[in-house]
Amino acid sequence: MKDTAESPLRVTVLGMARSGQAAARLALARGHVVTTTDQQANAPAVEGATAVHGTHRDGDFTDADLIVVSPGVPARVPMLQAALAAGVRVVGELAYAFEIIDQHGIPVLAVSGTNGKSSTVWFLGQLLERAGLHVWVGGNLGEPLSTLAMSLLKGDPPPDVAVVEVSSYQMELPGAFRPTAAAVLNLTPDHLGRHGTMASYGAAKLQLFAQMDDDGVAVLPLGCPHLSAQGLVPPVLHLDGWPGVRCIGEALVLQGTDDDGVLDISDFEHPGAHNRQNLAAAVLLAQSVGVNRDQLQLAGLRPLAHRMELVAERDGVRWRDDSKATNVDAALTGILGAGHPQICLLGGQGKDGANYAALAPALRKTARRVICFGASGPDIARVLRVALPAEISVSEQPTLESTVDEARSAARPGDTVLLSPACASFDAFRDFEHRGDVFAQLARR
């Protein structure tokens, strides 16, 4: 199946990371004339497309019929603004792929938020599969949405529902992206180098609901000042409030939903209040496609890699990989979830404006030792030596390997060694997954 038109569209794909490559292949499959462009001269090329890499040509933007933008490229860059001024349609990869998904009538459940979105998507996909649905899971997590669109063009059987993780970057150019139901889990300081202010960051997240009408469902946290439900068209359900869901003891209590009542979560095995909140959001979204409480099977839900993942247990010591905690708020969640006694590993490439002193209250409750590593390790250690009592040891190591060696020497039976870095990974690793994989190998060594 290809788009039908008197002449093929001239499509420029900007940014050739994973999403851009998938979008370029999709555009070619739709019969478009495709140019890919990236500032990196060695950026991957896609067979069938004209690759303009290492530079940008003005005409590839102002003379195009459509520009598809990878999420790593800010919408405010001059060449995109010039294209918009010339009347060129500019959309993100997610929106471009959604055009095909929408044509096939596939319900889309979308999850965003500063922290927890990947775990929520992961839990939701499993819950829907256990309820008997054929589910596709991807977006910002895993495969780009264009991958699903390609499979549909090839004639592959469509899924019953698509579960999509959505980042704030993807919502800068949302096009006509219109999920059936969507959740924004939370909003804490992150990505402010791109969005500027918390208000702008929140506004980007709320774009998730902009195209939805009153037969959709919007899930929001209660009381977040930058995630106001005011003016939203779809009905709103709340996390930790009603109408919506609250976690009370070993139960989720739902009121004002399609399936009100109590859901026993004593079989849910993942530690921490944050995981229960993620589960609560997944339950609300599952309801939106007709899955009721009595169809939900919680026992044995698999954890997502690098999110509080137990990677080794030896001599009474547990080693947990929470490498996805790339900011202070995510690390706070992991530190509290891992409990006491704890050896906490912090460090990597710090983010502008990160307040590492905010970790101190949680560390006082849980940690008996903190080891700081990587490019920002000395800065974190300096802050925590002031903020923590003397009985909590704060030390520094240059690398993750030497950090794990120190943790192994210091660990006692009953301890949890937690990698919850509060930093990005790019000082020493390709990404947080690479960092987590290396940690797991070192822990098992």
For residue 301, tell me if it sits in a domain. no
Q: State whether 184 and 318 are in the same domain.
A: no
Query: What are the strands of the beta sheet with 66-69, ordered from one edge?
Result: 50-53, 33-38, 10-14, 66-69, 89-92
- CATH number, domain of 426, equals 3.90.190.20
CB 303 within 8 A of CB 433: no
Please give the Cα distance from 257 to 250 (Å, whole number): 19
Could you say which of 87, 114, 129 is where a domain stops? 87
Q: State whether 106 and 71 are in the same domain.
A: no
Expressed in percent and rounded to 5, the helix, strand and coil fractions of the chain are 35, 20, 45
CB 323 within 8 A of CB 435: yes
What letter does residue 226 receive in the DSSP assignment?
T
pTM of the model: 0.80
Q: State whether 132 and 242 are in the same domain.
A: yes
Q: State whether 17 and 156 are in the same domain.
A: no
Looking at residue 352, its pLDDT comes to 85
Please give the Cα distance from 13 to 50 (Å, whole number): 10
End-to-end C-alpha distance for the chain, whole angstroms: 51
- Residue 113, number of CB atoms within 10 A of its CB: 29
Q: State whether 246 and 117 are in the same domain.
A: yes
Q: State whether 219 and 323 are in the same domain.
A: no
Q: State whether 42 and 185 are in the same domain.
A: no
Q: State whether 144 and 256 are in the same domain.
A: yes
For residue 261, tell me if it sits in a domain. yes
Looking at residue 3, its pLDDT comes to 53
Give the structural domain span for 18: 10-87
- CATH number, domain of 274, equals 3.40.1190.10
Per-residue pLDDT of the chain (445 residues; tens, 9 = 90+): 345 446 799 999 999 999 999 999 999 999 999 999 999 999 999 999 999 999 999 999 999 999 999 998 898 899 999 999 999 999 999 999 999 999 999 999 999 998 889 999 999 999 999 999 999 999 988 899 999 999 999 999 999 999 999 988 888 899 999 999 999 998 887 777 777 888 888 888 999 999 998 999 999 998 888 888 777 899 999 999 999 999 999 999 999 999 999 999 999 988 788 889 999 999 999 999 999 999 999 999 988 889 889 999 999 999 999 999 999 988 998 999 898 999 999 999 998 889 999 999 999 999 999 999 999 999 999 999 999 999 999 999 999 999 999 999 999 999 999 999 999 999 999 999 999 999 999 999 8
What letter does residue 420 receive in the DSSP assignment?
-
How many domains does the structure of the chain reveal?
A: 3
Looking at residue 1, its pLDDT comes to 38
CB 363 within 8 A of CB 394: no
Q: State whether 262 and 202 are in the same domain.
A: yes
What letter does residue 10 receive in the DSSP assignment?
E
Looking at residue 244, its pLDDT comes to 97
Looking at residue 116, its pLDDT comes to 87
Please give the Cα distance from 371 to 298 (Å, whole number): 35
The one-letter code for the residue type at 253 is: V
What's the full length of the chain, in residues? 445
Query: What is the CA 380 to chain-centroid distance, rounded?
Result: 25
Q: What is the 3-state secondary structure (H, E, C) of 266-311?
A: CCCCCCCHHHHHHHHHHHHHHHCCCCCHHHCCCCCCCCCCCCCEEE
Could you say which of 87, 122, 142 is where a domain stops? 87
Q: State whether 286 and 404 are in the same domain.
A: no
CA angle 99, 101, 103 (to 5 degrees): 70
For residue 202, tell me if it sits in a domain. yes
In this structure, is the dihedral angle defined by the CA atoms of residues 337, 343, 344 and 345, taken in order, positive or negative? negative
For residue 5, tell me if it sits in a domain. no
Tokens of 428: 């020493």
Could you say which of 40, 63, 87 is where a domain stops? 87
Q: State whether 129 and 226 are in the same domain.
A: yes
- CATH number, domain of 81, equals 3.40.50.720
Cis peptide before 271 (omega within 30 of 0): no
- Report residue 111: phi and psi, to 5°: -130, 130
**What's the Cα-to-Cα distance from 91 to each of 95, 101, 251, rounded to whole Å?**
6, 15, 42
List beta partners, residue 252: 247, 263
For residue 1, tell me if it sits in a domain. no
Q: State whether 62 and 147 are in the same domain.
A: no
For residue 3, tell me if it sits in a domain. no
Looking at residue 2, its pLDDT comes to 45
Cis peptide before 174 (omega within 30 of 0): no
